[in-house]
Structure 1
Amino acid sequence: MNYTKITEAASNHDNLEQLDTVSILKKMNEEDQKVADAVAETIPQITRLVDALAERFEKGGRLFYIGAGTSGRLGILDASEIPPTYGLPHTRVIGLIAGGDQAIRKSVEHAEDDEQQAWKDMMVYNINELDTVVGIAASGTTPYVLGGISEARKRGLLTAGITNNPGSPLAKAADIPIEMNVGPEFVTGSTRMKSGTSQKLALNMISTALMIKIGRVKGNKMVNMQLSNNKLVDRGVRYVAEGLDIPYAEAEKLLKKHGSVKAALDAGA
């Protein structure tokens, strides 16, 4: 397959070790400013994914992220924040990384080279045709991701591929390719930088739009968030007070009685 591997292209900057600190930071920032524009170009593809995903999610489907290294960690990060932010069980959005949970903190040598392992990892969850699999790989060539996406698509699951190399094998393998061309990295090949940032933005868009569409947000508030610490309880009380236009103390009593912002708002409406 002929395509330009942009993620391996030489940086637009050279002799980095000769730069002073402020020059390093300014040049990094110049490169980072290109990221949001690259993500914006993929909004039509992300829209397709979110709309299809929401329909399947409402029927009981789940969202799986699969990746290796930085990409895998970003998928796990996004998945792990759904329960506290939107009150869904951790079994609805699931992040899987090549090498297993130990790879979250430390790299596992050659784990990403196994084309069969991602599907094996998903099979633990009794994956089915209502589920959606999003593969994340800056290079678009990671065997762990390619194998998982290919097998999932073959079995009728909806698949998407988030990559920073347009025309890559991952883009070709997925039903919905999300190809974010952020250009060469500031440090050549260091895809934890602009590529990783673009992936984080895309994942934020996917999961947040999904949660809004399935009713986990009211107005602009996280009305299903878990009230797991004093800060969040206070936030919840303020949401109820604002939503019902009642005093803080009254809102606090209502929240304690009903246990969630949404339930309190529904009860007080």
Structure 2
Amino acid sequence: MTLAVWNAPVADAAVSGLASAADRDRWDLRHLRPEACAAAVLKEQVDVALVPTTMALQGAEGFDVIPGVAVSSWKYPFARILLREGLRGPGAPTLACDRRAVLEQFAARVALREHYSIDPELAPYDAPTPGQLLDGDESAALLTSTDLHALPDTGRREDGGLVMDLGQEWFELTGYPMVWGLFVAREDTLDPERTAALRDRLQASVEHRPAWVEQAQHPALEAFFREDLRLRYDDLVVASLTELKHYLFYESVLDDVPAFTFAPLPEEEGKKEGRREKAWGE
């Protein structure tokens, strides 16, 4: 089975159960940009892809979600909001950002508006480095990178600015962890046995948490792996997805509030999973 996953530490952790499995030769991993993962599964270049949650929701009618697994977190060191003048700056700042980071853009706008009454106008850049956004003239910046050494520390800056963790802002707004990505296949392309095998291997990834922490190359990444990264599709994920769906609908990003369909499981497991999803409101 071929899987497309993000070229990012969070994705490496999420699929670590595949890389260490006894049947690891069965799993062909391809590392791509998040938006390229979605394109790869749609173009039938891979069987399954880890895709940003907004893309999974927008393509819900054509996707089957792998049950039982999701990438969520309480904090997210890979996405930080910089307000150059802190919370006392303009109520409608210009927010410099990477145009490819669609989920992060949306979450940042919602968090700033709902939490701080700040309604930013996006100023998208084409594949910028964090340094380019930091050097820009915009009054705010959404900084996204897998290189944590390139991002400023969270908290107050000596120049009066404020840097915030986007994942923490979502949690403080909603009370739930932000769901960054879901594993999806094209609709009706996986049989129950392959779905169950993939789910089991992905769920086993969390057993490698001590290795994630040991291999982390930055203190913020070490803390993220130890305390914040979650890999289960559970009731907290469903609640967070519900909040995200409602905001996407309110902002007219979605025409309706879609319900996911899940890739099939063997009959008895499928009945059990279906009862659980119904109880969670999906």
TM-score if structure 2 supplies the norm length?
Answer: 0.27
Structure having the higher strand fraction is 2
TM-score norm. by structure 1 comes to 0.28
Larger radius of gyration: 1
Which structure ranks higher in relative contact order (CA pairs < 8 Å, sequence separation ≥ 6)? 2
